[in-house]
Each structure stands twice: as structure tokens, then as C-alpha cells.
Amino acid sequence: MDFFEEHGLTPFINAHDTYTVYGGSRMAENTLEAMRQISRHFVDMEQLQRRLGEEIAQMTKNEGAYITNGAAGALQLAASVCMARGSMYHYRQLPDTSGMKDEIIVLRAQRNAYDEAIWSTGAVRVEIGDADETLEYELEGSICENTAAVFYFLSSLYERGSMELSKVIEIAHRHQIPVVVDAAAQLPPVENLWEITEKGADLVIFSGGKTLCGPADSGLIVGKKALIEDCIRFGAPAHGICRTSKTSRESMAGLYMALKNYLELDQKKNTEILRHKNEIVAGYMNDVPGILKMEMVEKGPVGQTYPRLFLYLEKPETGDRIVQKMYEHGIYIGHEKSCGALYISPLNLTEEEVGTVGNMLKMILLSE
């Protein structure tokens, strides 16, 4: 009896995306092997963090790098670092921010469910702009002697009301204020691992459990060496508010190997493979009633550069029912209600699973 049978669990096929609620992504065998090897021995955790950070920084063309327990943990740690400004005394008193710069500026158009990790530190939220636009004078006027940092969330969902990142960096740096960029899901393109810091961002955050295909509870901060040094000093296993963001040696080894795999990946060839998987699913849909049209969309849900297959329904109101029926057969698929389409993301699909998804979706559509 395997683990799923023993515990009455349903193994799912993920044709939706690398969402945490599904477990993130699928790890490669050498990633799992690195995790297995390090689990057999004990290590000096600071030495491990420093050594892997140095290698990751070199691989990603950054001054420094730090492995976290996910992008949310990275947000909390980055906020703490920006407020404590190198002082262990101030860091250890968080979330009491007495005597330190504690205001963090965010764009109102970028507010989201994940930024709660910032405010858990005791930081004071300062919002600028609105859903339609964020103007330069609003950022200029909000910076004061209590400003600790500006946090910026990269996503195509927020583009309409956001100020350009380059302008945010220009204004913030004019006042010697660091800019932290949450780019948790912004891979691919792989170049984001270094191009965002090249634009001037002081710290940039990535999730390890999405397209990097590392452990779901891993994340990465890259950026300025001095700030990364404070991440090492203040981050777990050091005592303080970020002790809750403990990163295991297994996750650190897994994230390192997954990142190495990702950097060695032929991105162009991989995109072609993903597109081919979509085409296989599309082949099952030929002449299936209920589909108005099919379209290959070359963007992920928050602007990433990978292809998804969209199936526009003649009766959009059936979308929820179809998604539920797929779920009942152990398959997750996407549903974009705003345009009345089901969609397939090939990121987590094996060649065998592609056929299973296409065949099951065809059967369900024919039964509608």
C-alpha cells in the first residue's frame, strides 16, 4: 500500500498552474536526491546558508543571495531588515518598532493577500496612488524621516495603476530609501533573476516552489550584499520575529539544486515542449461541441512568459461545472471567468498526463 492509499488521499494531475494550494510544482530527481543526502547529516546552518548564497549569487549575477522558507517569509524578513538597519537590538524588539524607521510605502494598486507578511513585523503601511494611477509626486511626498523602504509587487494584474518600477527606484534612491521587489511568480523569463537588480532594486524575492520547481516551502532573496548580510544575521535560526520563517537544510539544498537546473535549462526548447503539450490537448478538442475557439496564450496568469491553452466556451455558465467534474476525476484545470474560457497550463504535466487531461476533458465536454 502506498502513501496515498494508506491515508485515503487522492493524487491529482495539475493542469492549472503552480499554485501552493496544489503543492506548487514537481521536483526533479536530482533535487530530491540533494534533499535526501543532506537529510542524512548535520550541518552548520549559517555555513550552509552562506555557501549556497555565495554560489547562487554568482549563478544569478547578484551581489548576494539568501534562501528563505517561501516568498512570504522573504517579505517578512526583508521588511525587518529594512527597518532594523543593521541593528540586532532593533531587530530583536520587533514587532515593537520604537526608535526605528517603521514606515513602508506600497502602491495601492498593488495591495494583495500576500503583503500581510510585511505588516506582521509591526511596520506602518503607507499607501500611495489608486486603482487607476500612481503619480510621482505621491511617492515623493510620502517619503519622510520615518520611511524604511518601498515595496513593489511585480504582476501584470497590477500594471494599470502602477508607476513604472524604474521611476520608483529613481525616486526612492534619491532619498536613500531601499526598494524591495516581490517577483515571487515572475519566472520565466529567467533573466528576471538578475535584470531586476540590474535596474536598481535592492532586494528581489522569488518563490522556490513555482517554475523553479524547488520545494514548495522555499524562496529566494537576491540583491545588495549588505542587506543580504543582515538577512543572514536576522533570519532563522536566529531568535526574533523571523524565527517563524525557519528554513530546513533539506529545503535549502533542494532550492539550490532546482535553481541550478533552471539556469541550465534550454528555455527556448522548454517553451517549445510546453507548447507541444498544449497542442496535444488541443488535438483532443477538434470537433468537440461547446467550444467556440481555441487559442494559445503566451502569458501566465501574472505575466510570466509561458504558453497556456485557452478553450472559449459557447456556454460560459457551464465552466464551473466542467471544472468540478474534472476535479472529481482527479484533475485540476484553470477557469478564466472574465472571458468565459477554460485553460490548460502545461507546466506540471508529464507526456502521459497530457493525454489523460485531453481525453477526460473531451469526455466531459461531450457529456454536457
State how far the Cα of 321 lies from the Cα of 319, in Å rounded to an integer.
Answer: 5
Which residues in 258-281 are b (16+ Cβ under 10 Å) and which e? Answer: bbbbbeeeeeeebeeebbebbebb
> Per-residue pLDDT tens for 208-266?
999 999 999 999 999 999 999 999 999 999 999 999 989 999 999 999 999 999 999 99
Domains and CATH numbers, the chain: 3-20+266-367 (3.90.1150.10), 42-264 (3.40.640.10)
Q: Model confidence over 162-221: pLDDT tens digits?
A: 999 999 999 999 999 999 999 999 999 999 999 999 999 999 999 999 999 999 999 999
CA distance 342 to 333: 7
- Give the mean pLDDT of 73-96: 97
- Report the percent of the chain where pLDDT is more than 90: 98
pLDDT exceeds cutoff 90 at 279: yes
pTM above 0.85, yes or no: yes
Instruction: Report the pLDDT averaged over residues 56-83.
Output: 98
- At which residue does the C-alpha cell 550541518 appear? 43
Decide if pLDDT at 65 tops 80. Answer: yes
Q: Which long-range contacts (CB under 8 A, 24 or more apart) does 41-47 make?
A: 43/249, 45/237, 45/249, 46/232
Instruction: Classify the C-alpha dihedral 63-113-214-261 as positive or negative.
Output: negative
Nearest to 202 by CA among 230, 216, 233, 181: 181
Q: Are 25 and 354 in contact (CB under 8 A)?
A: no
287 pLDDT tier (thresholds 50, 70, 90): confident
Neighbours of 193 (CB within 10 A): 26
Q: What is the pLDDT of residue 1?
A: 60
Integer Cα distance of 304 and 62 in angstroms: 21
Label residue 293 by pLDDT band (50, 70, 90).
very high
Indicate left, alpha or beta for 197 from its phi (over 0: left) and psi (-120 to 50: alpha). Answer: alpha
Amino acid at 258: A
Sign of the Cα pseudo-torsion (33, 39, 41, 47, in order): positive
Cβ atoms 318, 337 nearer than 8 A: no
Q: 57-96 burial, b if ≥16 CB within 10 A, otherwise e?
A: bebbebebbbbbbbbbbbbbbbbbbbbbeeeeebbebbee
Give yes or no for a contact between 189 and 202, defined as CB atoms under 8 angstroms apart: no
